[in-house]
């Protein structure tokens, strides 16, 4: 082909996805294909090219910034012509879905508030609050299960936060892995930890200042100055901050194990690293990395970038869902179309609503959105006023390097669809904790069917129409074609997949002398139960301990784990 013009810009990172080989082909042809592609990558005029295999079907091609554009384009064209290649795509950056609202309350300034609302988004709805997810009521049915692993693909996590902590130190964080690769040979500007892929997913901070940009113009070419976000620590806290410990905040899932997978560094992360992190989190093999022995049942990705879902991303999503893992992603904060990977087929994509239930101005929207959840919004817009509807979560106080555990609040606000997605991921964890046989499709369908209808504000247009200026810029009344099926309802979602009534009915049929047909199941605290007045007895299940209990005049009998009874009765099956 003709050489690219000198001023053409050709990306120096590409991802190669192979076609799905037959089983007969896979054993014999895999190494031969890899060798052939490696030879294709090593073309005259491109000595710096490196082809790295990350899975049976994925390769990453990298070249030096100084590589001739024409030679690099020729290499890409040659790779695309290989009969086993499905796609060769630029290895694009994906960034944490953060947001800078257009009101002055976002700045890190000390505000005074006389109206604290705490974790308003987890409670029931009252007054102006219409979008809270009602997790508090769901905890009477289930508080999650340690058999469920929720992976957080993000900037890493601060293991020293007292509301998180490693499993071995009394917390629920697993060891995880770091998939932020090097910028170039022995160059770790984006990673900011002195290494590429390794077993330490700790977040060292993703700060960028003017001096760093000036000294690393290539690696940080599309980045802007900002303090460290501690984004992964924030999303992990929403899902699983330690609860009932008298410290800080409450997570939504009280028992699930949290798997931190670091895929974002300074200026975000590359698609190839994110896909490798996704596959590893789900228990799939990633070349050069020890296998994950704690495969996630749920993956949360509060990140994304513009453009359609890439072939590499969709292939990975399909593999992961087929394995039985639920994938949750935030829609984005552009106020425009849903970003990738939220626009990949099969993903549970989460948009953001205000406390009143209307679309928050910055939330992306479109037919790919599955459901919405609170994203945080600042009602007060005057100087030195607090952000009343911030999403409180775990963070670090450092502006660059870690400086100590902290929490976001009205004075240090936290908003964005990044924080809507982990609410849905955590509720999916609760659902799988009470019914572990759920498939990703069943989980998604139950979240949608149990969601609450959107309210209507007569002063706003229906989405995608929105207010163009002023304090309400970007807001609109959600519709099911733009904001998903409705607003997340944790209680309804858990009840939709809860086998308890089925178990009680089965028990009554099995031992009618002991359990003559009882009334409707009642709930008190962490107990679901039925009372049998003719026997003066109770059959119940404890949400906090997960045990089946029988109470009669003879006393309390612990009949064993509810999971065993659900299996024996066949009650895990959904209608």
Q: By mean pLDDT, which of 108-117, 231-240, 448-457 is the weakest?
A: 108-117
What's the pLDDT tens digit per position in 472-496? 788 999 999 999 999 999 999 999 9
Q: What is the mean pLDDT of residues 259-277?
A: 97
Asked which of 113-122, 131-140, 209-218, 312-321 is least confident by mean pLDDT, the reply is 113-122
What is the share, in percent, of the chain residues with pLDDT greater than 70?
Answer: 92
| End-to-end Cα, the chain, rounded Å | 59
- In sequence order, the 6+-apart residues with CB closer than 8 A to the CB of 322 are none
What are the residues whose beta carbons fall under 8 Å from the beta carbon of 211, sequence distance 6 or more?
none
Q: What is the pLDDT of residue 379?
A: 77
356 vs 76, 146, 191, 389, 393, CA distance in Å? 50, 34, 39, 10, 21
Confidence band, pLDDT 50/70/90 cuts, at residue 342: very high
Question: pLDDT tier at 386 (50, 70, 90 boundaries)?
Answer: confident
Dmax (CA) for the chain in angstroms is: 90
**334, part of any domain:** no
pLDDT at residue 281 tops 80? yes
> How do the residues of the chain divide into helix, strand and coil, expressed in percent and rounded to 5?
25, 20, 55
Whole-number Å distance between alpha carbons of 138 and 497: 12
What confidence tens digit (pLDDT) does each residue in 47-71 have? 778 899 998 899 999 988 878 888 8
Are 537 and 474 within 8 A, CB to CB? Answer: no
Distance between CA 445 and CA 171 in Å, rounded?
A: 31
Closest CA to 328 of 238, 408, 267, 254: 238
Describe the crossing of helices 69-80 and 23-41 by its angle, rounded to 10 degrees: 160
The reported pLDDT for the residue numbered 117 is 62
Q: What is the pLDDT of residue 155?
A: 98
Q: How far apart are CA 60 and CA 273, in angstroms?
A: 9
Kindly state whether residue 98 falls inside one of the protein's structural domains: no
Q: What CATH number is attached to the domain comprising 44?
A: 3.30.70
Task: Spell out a b/e string for 366-390, using b for 16 or more CB atoms within 10 Å of the CB, else e.
Answer: bebbbbbbbbbbbbbeeeebbbbbb
Lowest average pLDDT, out of 247-256, 321-330, 341-350, 566-575, goes to: 566-575
> What pLDDT is attached to residue 7?
37
| Whether pLDDT at 101 is above 50 | no
Give pLDDT tens digits for 486-524: 999 999 999 999 999 999 999 999 999 989 988 889 998
User: Are 394 and 236 contacting, i.e. CB atoms less than 8 angstroms apart?
Assistant: yes
Q: What does residue 165 show for φ and ψ, rounded to 5 degrees? A: 70, 150
Q: Which pLDDT belongs to residue 25?
A: 57
Highest-scoring range by mean pLDDT, 54-68, 94-108, 172-186: 172-186
Number of domains the chain is built from: 2
What's the confidence (pLDDT) of residue 410?
A: 83
DSSP 322: H
Contact 121, 384 (CB under 8 A): no
Q: Do 365 and 463 form a contact (C-beta atoms < 8 A)?
A: yes
pLDDT of residue 466: 79
Domain extent for 521? 499-569
What integer pLDDT is reported at residue 83 of this predicted model? 92
- Predicted confidence at residue 110, as pLDDT, reads 37
DSSP, collapsed to helix, strand or coil, labels residue 166 as strand
- Are 101 and 415 within 8 A, CB to CB? yes
Single residue among 66, 91, 116 that ends a domain in this structure: 91
Is residue 560 situated within a structural domain? yes
**Rounded distance between C-alpha atoms, residue 386 and residue 410, angstroms:** 5
Cα 43 to the center of its chain, rounded Å: 40
Rounded to an integer, the average pLDDT of 456-468 is: 89
Q: 369 lies in a domain?
A: no
264 domain-assigned? no
Q: How far apart are CA 406 and CA 352, in angstroms?
A: 24
Residues 6+ away with beta carbon under 8 Å from 432: 145, 148, 297, 298, 326, 438, 443
pLDDT in tens, 107-148: 333 334 344 467 888 888 888 889 999 998 998 999 999 999
DSSP output for 86-132: EEEEE--EEEE-----SSGGGSS---B-S----SGGGS---TT----
Rounded Cα–Cα distance for residues 325 and 444 (Å): 11
Whether the pLDDT of residue 234 is over 60: the answer is: yes
Please give the C-alpha separations between residue 555 and each of 6, 481, 550, in angstroms, as whole numbers.
Answer: 86, 54, 8
Nearest to 424 by CA among 502, 346, 359, 489: 489
Rounded to a whole number of angstroms, the CA Rg of the chain reads 25
Beta-carbon contacts of residue 123 (< 8 Å; ≥ 6 apart): 129, 132, 134, 135, 136
DSSP letters, 351-371, are: EEE-TTSSBPTT--BSTT--E
Q: What is the model's pTM?
A: 0.90
- Which residues are tagged catalytic? 154, 231, 418
pLDDT score of 387:
82
Task: List residues bridging with 300 in a β-sheet.
Answer: 152, 328
Reported as a pLDDT band with limits 50, 70 and 90, residue 8 is low
CA distance 553 to 49: 78
pLDDT of residue 566: 94
Task: Please say if the pLDDT value at position 29 is more than 80.
Answer: no
What confidence score (pLDDT) does residue 446 get? 97
Q: How confident is the model at residue 23 (pLDDT cuts 50, 70, 90)?
A: low
pLDDT averaged over the chain?
Answer: 89
Residue 465: band (very low, low, confident or very high) from pLDDT cuts 50, 70, 90: confident
Q: Are 543 and 526 in contact (CB under 8 A)?
A: yes
Distance of CA 447 to the CA centre of its chain: 15
Q: How far apart are CA 379 and CA 69, in angstroms?
A: 50
Q: What is the pLDDT of residues 191-205, one digit of tens each?
A: 999 999 999 999 999
Single residue among 48, 66, 91 that ends a domain in this structure: 91
Q: Of the candidates 54, 71, 91, which is a domain's last residue?
A: 91
C-beta pairs of 508-511 under 8 Å, 24+ apart in sequence: none
User: What pLDDT is stored for residue 106 in this prediction?
Assistant: 28
As a whole number, mean pLDDT of residues 346-356 equals 97
Residue 70: the pLDDT is 85
pLDDT(2) > 50:
no
């Amino acid at each position: 082909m003709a050489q690219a013009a000198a001023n053409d810009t050709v990306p120096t990172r590409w991802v190669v996805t192979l076609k799905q080989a037959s089983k007969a082909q896979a054993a014999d042809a895999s190494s031969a294909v890899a060798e052939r592609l490696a030879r294709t990558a090593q073309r005259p005029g491109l000595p710096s090219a490196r082809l790295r295999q990350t899975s049976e079907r994925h390769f990453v091609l990298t070249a030096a910034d100084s590589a001739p554009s024409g030679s690099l384009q020729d290499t890409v064209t040659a790779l695309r012509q290989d009969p086993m290649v499905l796609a060769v795509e630029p290895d694009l950056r994906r960034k944490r879905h953060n947001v800078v609202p257009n009101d002055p309350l976002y700045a890190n300034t000390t505000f005074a508030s006389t109206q604290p609302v705490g974790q308003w988004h987890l409670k029931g709805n009252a007054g102006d609050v219409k979008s809270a997810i009602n997790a508090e009521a769901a905890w009477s049915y289930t508080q999650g299960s340690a058999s469920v692993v929720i992976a957080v693909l993000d900037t890493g996590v601060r293991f020293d936060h007292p509301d998180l902590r490693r499993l071995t130190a009394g917390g629920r964080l697993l060891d995880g892995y770091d998939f932020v690769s090097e910028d170039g040979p022995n160059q770790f500007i984006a990673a900011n930890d002195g290494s590429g892929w390794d077993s330490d997913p700790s977040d060292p901070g993703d700060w960028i200042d003017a001096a760093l940009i000036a000294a690393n113009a290539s690696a940080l070419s599309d980045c802007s100055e900002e303090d460290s976000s501690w984004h992964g620590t924030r999303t992990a806290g929403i899902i699983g901050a330690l609860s009932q410990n008298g410290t800080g905040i409450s997570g939504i899932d009280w028992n699930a194990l949290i798997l931190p997978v670091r895929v974002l560094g300074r200026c975000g992360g590359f698609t190839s690293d994110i896909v490798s992190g996704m596959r590893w989190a789900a228990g799939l093999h990633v070349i050069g990395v020890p296998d994950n022995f704690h495969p996630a049942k749920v993956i949360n990705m509060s990140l994304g970038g513009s453009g359609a879902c890439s072939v590499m991303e969709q292939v990975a999503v399909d593999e992961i869902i087929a394995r039985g893992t639920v994938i949750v992603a935030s829609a984005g904060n552009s106020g425009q179309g849903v970003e990738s990977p939220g626009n990949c087929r099969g993903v549970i994509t989460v948009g953001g609503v205000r406390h009143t239930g209307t679309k928050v101005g910055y939330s992306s929207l479109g037919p790919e959105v599955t459901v919405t959840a609170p994203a945080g919004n600042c009602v007060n817009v005057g100087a030195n006023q607090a952000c009343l509807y911030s999403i409180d979560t775990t963070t670090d106080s450092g502006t660059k390097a870690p400086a100590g555990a902290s929490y976001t609040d009205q004075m240090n606000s936290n908003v964005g669809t990044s924080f809507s997605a982990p609410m849905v991921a955590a509720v999916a964890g609760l659902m799988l904790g009470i019914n572990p046989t759920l498939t990703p499709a069943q989980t998604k369908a139950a979240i949608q069917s149990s969601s609450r209808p959107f309210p209507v504000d007569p002063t706003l247009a229906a989405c995608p129409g929105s207010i163009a200026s002023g304090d309400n810029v970007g807001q609109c009344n959600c519709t099911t074609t733009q904001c998903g099926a409705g607003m997340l309802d944790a209680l309804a979602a858990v009840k939709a997949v809860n086998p308890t009534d089925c178990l009680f009915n089965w028990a009554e049929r099995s031992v009618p002398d002991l359990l003559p047909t009882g009334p409707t199941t009642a709930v008190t605290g962490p107990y679901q139960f039925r009372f049998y007045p003719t026997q003066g007895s109770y059959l119940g299940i404890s949400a906090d301990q997960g045990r089946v209990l029988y109470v009669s005049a003879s006393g309390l009998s612990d009949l064993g784990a509810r999971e065993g009874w659900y299996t024996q009765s066949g009650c895990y099956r959904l209608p």
